[in-house]
Amino acid sequence: MRSRAAACAALVLLVWPAVGQYKQAAPGYRYEFPRDHFNHEAFQTEWWYYTGNVTASDGHQFGFELTFFRQGVDHSVEAAGTWDLRDIYLAHLALSDIESGTFYHSERINRAGPGIVGASESEKQIWNGNWSVRWNGNQQQLDAIDSRFSFSLRLTSEKAPVIHGENGISQKSAGAGHASHYISLTRLNTNGTIRLAGKEYAVSGLAWMDHEFFTQQLAPDQAGWDWVSVQLNDDTELMLYRMRKKDGSVDLFSSGTFVDAKGHTTHLRSSDFLMTPGGEIWKSPETGAAYPIEWTLAVPKLRLLLTAKTQLKSQELASRSRIAPHYWEGAMQFKGVREITPVDGVGYLEMTGYDAAVVFGVSSKE
């Protein structure tokens, strides 16, 4: 415990004195695509999250995650050498084998070096070694290789990018700059192959992409968040996040977005929805965190009520990098009613701050 706290403190000293070099997420940002799908070095923190649920032709079910992070360290001086450290690049890879009840995950951390990692609009790709996403119009190609599994997936977006929040920002806590610029592709038709245990599976399903860039988000009294993406069988989508305070209460800066079948969005403030944990808890044998793995989602103004459950309880990414927090992120199933019509769907749930409060992207014990 003490060594982990010391490592976190060292990283905070390394990364956060440079905050003043970077822009804050501010209202009125003018989004442009495809430019805003790629790197924003003017902001200190940036991430791209790909998650999805796919099924093989034989009925075998999988969830997958491929995530790229960029953390600015020092942009005050132009890099003079190939190995100069201006940014830290972290990536997470995970595969949920629903049929066998097995969760695989891996991470890597790099500096840019001679093209080892990057996010390039001119090259139309984001990569960390042999984990990559390459863009071609409204299609994206995800490729990732691990010693235990690999996947190669083609994602085709059915809807235009969704901008979350109000006036160009997603506010996460009180105060100017405590926000992000937050973009999602909420319905990505997915086809490709997964290789696992010597077998190749032809798979298809749906994926979701989140992209955020910011310099500061959380307030000192916030512990973490619960986030959910939902893709329903009526061609609508829902994103909700619930910011949690250290005293256990829910922050009023929680919010969400509903996307209708035509791609039109409805912003949801904290008063517009309830995201309530159920009684089933999974306790991590590695971190000791106790995660609620069943939820009820209610959006009265949309007459939408959903229950969320998972077939695989163990989907925690216990980070060894000391930069990213430990968090649970896994494949979910949803069932309920919208207006008077039964609906069901798939998606992902992310829960952070259950073993330690998240401080500017670093998990730190109090």
Alpha carbon distances (Å) from 110 to 125, 148, 157: 17, 21, 29
Cβ count near 355 (within 10 Å)? 21
- pLDDT reading at 364 higher than 50: no
- The per-residue pLDDT for 11 is 43
What's residue 338's pLDDT? 95
Say whether pLDDT at 123 is over 80.
yes
pLDDT higher than threshold 80 for residue 197: yes
- The per-residue pLDDT for 86 is 82
The whole-number pLDDT of residue 46 equals: 96
Tens digits of per-residue pLDDT, 42-80? 999 999 999 999 999 999 999 999 999 998 888 776 666
Instruction: Determine the average pLDDT of the residues in 315-322.
Output: 81
State the pLDDT at residue 78: 66
Least confident of 79-88, 115-124, 181-190, 226-235: 79-88
pLDDT tens column, 243-285: 999 999 999 999 999 999 999 999 999 999 999 999 999 999 9
Q: pLDDT band for 21, please (50, 70, 90 cuts).
A: confident
194 is written with which tokens?
């997964």
SS3 state of residue 2: helix
Per-residue pLDDT of 284-305, as tens digits, reads 999 999 999 999 999 999 999 9
Q: For residue range 216-235, what is the model confidence (pLDDT) as tens digits?
A: 878 888 989 999 999 999 99
pLDDT value at 8 more than 60 = no
Strand 139-145 to 131-136 pairing: antiparallel
Mean pLDDT lowest among 13-22, 57-66, 83-92, 131-140: 13-22
Name the DSSP letter for residue 178. B
Best CA proximity match to 252, nearest among 272, 238, 277: 272
Which pLDDT does position 114 carry in this prediction? 85
CA distance 306 to 298: 6
Residues 6+ apart with CB under 8 A from 146: 93, 95, 104, 106
Phi/psi at 35 (5° precision): -50, -45
Q: 2-23+33-364 adopts what CATH topology?
A: AttH-like fold (2.40.370)
334 by Cβ neighbours in 10 Å (0-12 / 13-18 / 19+) ranks as buried
